[in-house]
């Protein structure tokens, strides 16, 4: 019986056909077109934010390495600690569009609890929160690629929408690792 089963399984393996080769090959034109569209989108959003900053010459905007801008609406002169990976932060926020129309008004979004660099959060906030001290309020100008990107927030923020994100950092709970190093 064992010989019969072994013979059947070996015969089954020998009858397999060679894998088929793909019928069509991609020329890369779709990828090239996608890259061009993305570059155009980034350039147009940068131009929009540039015009916002020029309309507000009294506000000092800072440029981040991650491709967004920010300004301190309330700056702490007493706090010294900036959040580090593993710290737990609590923040409130509101979001407006680039025309100044409210998307999420202050108080509408519940206080957010975020473990720095350990949880998923939009790229801009992931970086931006680490630039804040407890009690500070910062306004971030986020192009869509560092905000909600191609998908939007699946609620009120659509696809590829640049936003103005106001964040108030309420508290920082240092992780054990941060406490031991500071």
State pLDDT tens for residues 1-14: 545 444 545 555 55
Could you tell me the pTM of the whole model?
A: 0.81
* 138-163 pLDDT per residue, tens: 999 999 999 999 999 999 999 999 99
Overall average pLDDT of the 29-34 stretch = 86
Burial class (CB in 10 A: 0-12, 13-18, 19+), 116: buried
**Which residues have a Cβ under 8 Å from the Cβ of 167 and sit 6 or more positions away?**
91, 92, 93, 125, 128, 129, 132, 137, 138, 139, 140
Among all chains, which residue has been given the structure tokens 């630039």?
Answer: 131
Q: Which of 3-12, 38-47, 65-74, 117-126 has the lowest mean pLDDT?
A: 3-12
Report d(CA 28, CA 102) in Å as an integer.
Answer: 40
Q: Which of 4-18, 89-103, 106-120, 150-164 has the lowest mean pLDDT?
A: 4-18
Bridge partners of 95, per DSSP, are: 104, 165
Distance CA 29, CA 109 (A): 42
User: Whose CA is closest to 148, among 116, 110, 104?
Assistant: 104
H/E segment holding residue 29? helix 29-55
Mean pLDDT of the 15-22 span: 60
Whose CA is closest to 146, among 54, 37, 64?
Answer: 64
Residue 129, judged by CB atoms within 10 A of its CB (0-12, 13-18, 19+), counts as buried
């Amino acid at each position: 019986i064992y010989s019969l089963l072994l013979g059947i399984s070996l015969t089954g393996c020998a009858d397999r056909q060679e894998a088929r080769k793909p019928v069509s090959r991609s020329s890369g034109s779709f990828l090239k077109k996608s890259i061009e569209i993305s570059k155009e989108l980034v350039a147009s959003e940068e131009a929009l934010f540039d015009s916002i900053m020029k309309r507000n010459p009294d506000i000092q905007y800072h440029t981040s390495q991650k491709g967004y801008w920010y300004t301190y609406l309330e700056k702490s002169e007493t706090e010294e600690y900036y959040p580090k990976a593993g710290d737990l932060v609590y923040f409130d926020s509101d979001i407006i569009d680039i025309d100044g129309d409210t998307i999420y008004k202050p108080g509408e979004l519940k206080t957010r609890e975020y473990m720095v660099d350990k949880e998923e959060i939009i790229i801009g906030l992931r970086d931006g929160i680490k630039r804040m001290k407890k009690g500070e309020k910062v306004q971030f100008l986020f192009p869509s690629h560092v905000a909600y990107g191609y998908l939007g927030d699946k609620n009120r923020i659509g696809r590829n929408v640049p936003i103005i994100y106001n964040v108030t950092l309420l508290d920082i709970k240092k992780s054990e690792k941060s406490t031991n190093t500071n």
